[in-house]
Amino acid sequence: MKKLTKLAIEGSEAKRTAFRYEYGTQYTAEQTVFFDESSFDRRTSIRGKAWAVSGERAEQKCFFVRGRRYSMLPALSIDEMIHVKIVEGSFTTELFVEFIEGLLDHMQPFPQPKSVIVMDNARIHKDPQIRELIEARGMHVMYLPPYSPDFNPIELAFSSIKAYFRRSGELAREDVDQAIDDTYVYVHLIKAAFSVTSEDTEGYFHHCGYL
């Protein structure tokens, strides 16, 4: 098993190098848009620490009804968060197609800025209809090499988004933990996603080596 893992990693290094070369010779940071999926649940909205008056128990409010999980797909360019879709549960192929269609409305045909989608090799991402949908609108597609979350700036954004969401949990109304509708959760997740600034996004691109 260890030998197979080592071989897989060594093979991915060659693919990482090839990706860097292709990206560096064909595209610019201004042209590329990155996205990935992340989940949010009860644990996401609870901070590790809370303040309380000395001698009293610290209490925290939470946005989620127990057991619910939401998935977020945010898309990031070098200067902004350009599109976000949130669903309860997981993304199906149909919901992912809806996300792509919405994202393309915020992009431009190649070689203009925001004209190249870069994503990982998840099965849903490699559905032939997805590439056809993107290329039919004049955009290009690039797939990240395996074992390379460090090549995706959106992974850095998730840390900021989840931190913002945990902080905003302090603003929850008194009964939020007992009775809450999806709209309330969606609004706060959207706010968390768009709390990412242009300075943040440029920093993420720089950290990943695209600047």
- Distance CA(133)–CA(100), nearest Å, equals 8
- CA terminus-to-terminus distance, the chain: 37
> 155, 89, 149: which is closest to 121 by C-alpha?
149
Domain boundaries in the chain? 32-45+59-207
**Tokens 């009860």, residue?**
42
Q: Are the C-beta atoms of 189 and 180 separated by less than 8 Å?
A: no
Q: Which alpha helices (H) appear in the chain, and where do they start and end? A: 2-26, 93-104, 128-136, 153-168, 182-193, 198-207
Q: By three-state DSSP, how is residue 69 classified? A: strand
- Domain at 32-45+59-207, CATH class: alpha beta
Taking only the tens place, the pLDDT of each residue in 67-77 is 578 899 999 99
Kindly give the pairing relationship between strand 69-76 and strand 81-88.
antiparallel
Banded pLDDT at 56 (limits 50, 70, 90):
very low
Higher pLDDT, 162 or 9: 162
DSSP state of 168: H
pLDDT at 9: 59
pTM: 0.81
DSSP state of 11: H
- Distance CA(181)–CA(67), nearest Å, equals 14
Say what percent of the chain tops pLDDT 70: 75
Taking only the tens place, the pLDDT of each residue in 29-44 is 999 999 999 987 765 5
DSSP state of 55: T
